[in-house]
Amino acid sequence: NYALEAWSDALRMELRHSGIQVSLIEPGPIRTRFTDNVNQTQSDKPVENPGIAARFTLGPEAVVEKVRHAFTSDKPKLRYPVTLVTHAVAMLKRLLPARAMDKIIHG
């Protein structure tokens, strides 16, 4: 996640005079078959608790809407958090020191 953010920021700075806009789409938990497929092949280690994750999961159309906005806007946002989880993380990053965020994310 952090590497992709840094790469996106660097790419945006490199392209600032080219007329090319760079935006980062931050999907968070999106309803796909990925988790089901992983859980079928690794049933002894499920990747998530479906009951908890389902409360914060959106469908793929939520990502499509953010991508559409990024492509069609005259002034696209630098970052597009999609789900409640990614909105919350973005807000916490602005409010908390880096070490506090490290503890929240990595335990």
User: pLDDT truncated to tens, each residue of the chain (107 aa)?
Assistant: 789 999 999 999 999 999 999 999 999 989 888 767 776 776 666 666 566 667 788 999 999 999 999 999 999 999 999 999 899 989 999 999 999 988 888 87
Tokens coding 11 = 């790419």
Q: Into how many domains does the chain fold?
A: 1
Task: Give CA–CA dist 9/26, Å, rounded.
Answer: 14
CATH number of the domain within which 67 lies: 3.40.50.720
Range of the domain at 72: 2-106
